[in-house]
Structure 1
Amino acid sequence: MPDHLHKLVNQHLRDRQIEALELASSWSAQSKYQSEVAGVSIPNEVINQWDDVFHSDNDRFLSEPLYSKSEIIALRKYARVLNDVCKKTPNLLPEVPEIFELSAWKVLRSAAQEALDVMMIRGPFTDGAQIEDDH
């Protein structure tokens, strides 16, 4: 894949990470999502969306300049919290809004908000805005 396309794909991945953090950090977003897609487990969706867009074991995706050092630290911290929450909660998670009562889900929400706050300092890189023109 040409470098500029690789960079664009990684920028879109970064944007999807921000979206996943927005969902995980917001009870209202989770409730709204649940009302729009009956039959889908939103708690599982929160976990699966993150798993789709974040791979902490691959440093080639988490590097500067796409991510600042503080963003890398924040994303890895959130991933650790998410993994810990998955270990502490049952495989069959309660649905929205019952999930909001679990202390582990409250910890996850807080960690997501912390990571989102760091990521939003620079925000998303939508529409290839960070791609340099090769011409």
Structure 2
Amino acid sequence: MNRELREQLKHNFRKEVFEVLELISSREEQLDYQEKVPIAYVSAELFNQWEDCFQIPKGQEWYAEAFNQAELRILELFDGVMEIVAQNTPENPPDIHEFVESKEWAQLASAASRALGELKKI
């Protein structure tokens, strides 16, 4: 992979991680997303988007270059909460309007908000 492509890939994934954490942390953004894209299944999208922007690519060498060690640690901690919530959520999670009322959603949103706060301090 050439250097320019590698840098763009790192930039894009870094940006996506922050955007996904913002979405996961915000009840309003999730409900707005569902309203604007009625065919989306936002509850499942929260898990899928995190998987796509962190869990799948995190083992790639270029991915580790996109974040410093402190940032990667924060993302790993959030990922641990995501896994716990995923285990406690049905494979087909409830509709977003119901999911945002659950303790699992509150745990996930709180962890995303905490991660964002820590990332912004770095």
TM (norm. structure 1) is 0.80
- Give the 3 Å change call, closer, same or farther, for CA 40–58 of structure 1 in structure 2: same
Distance 2:23 2:72 in 1: 19
Q: State how far apart, in whole Å, the 1-side matches of 2:64 and 2:118 are.
A: 15
Contact 1:74 1:115 in 2 (8 A): yes
SS at 1:111 equivalent = helix
Identity of aligned residues (%): 29
TM-score (norm 2): 0.88
Equivalenced residues, count: 120
CA separation in 2, counterparts of 1:5 and 1:39?
33
Q: Deviations over 1:10-57 (max 9, x none)?
A: 111010011100100000000100100113211101111111111375
Counterparts of 1:59 and 1:3 in 2: how far apart (Å)?
A: 15
Deviation at 1:78, TM superposition (A): 1.0
Residue 101 of structure 1: SS of its match in structure 2? coil
Counterparts in 2 of 1:62-73, with a 5 A limit? 62-63=64-65, 66-73=66-73
Q: CA deviation at 1:83?
A: 1.1
1:46-104 deviation line (CA, Å, top 9, x unaligned): 111111111375162124xx312221111011111111111111112111221112111
2:37 paired residue number:
37
Preserved contact between residue 70 and residue 118 of structure 1 (Cα < 8 Å): no
Residues of 2 paired with 1:57 and 1:96: CA distance? 27
Q: Does the aligned pair in 2 maintain the 1:30–1:42 contact within 8 Å?
A: yes
2:59 matched residue in structure 1: 58
**Larger RCO (alpha carbons 8 Å, 6+ apart):** 1
Give 5+ residue unaligned stretches, structure 1.
Answer: 123-135
RMSD between aligned residues: 1.7
Q: Could you tell me whether the CA contact under 8 Å between 2:58 and 2:64 is conserved in 1?
A: no
Larger-gyration structure (1/2): 1
Unmatched segments (≥5 aa) in structure 2: none
> 4+ residue stretches of structure 1 with deviation over 2 A?
118-122
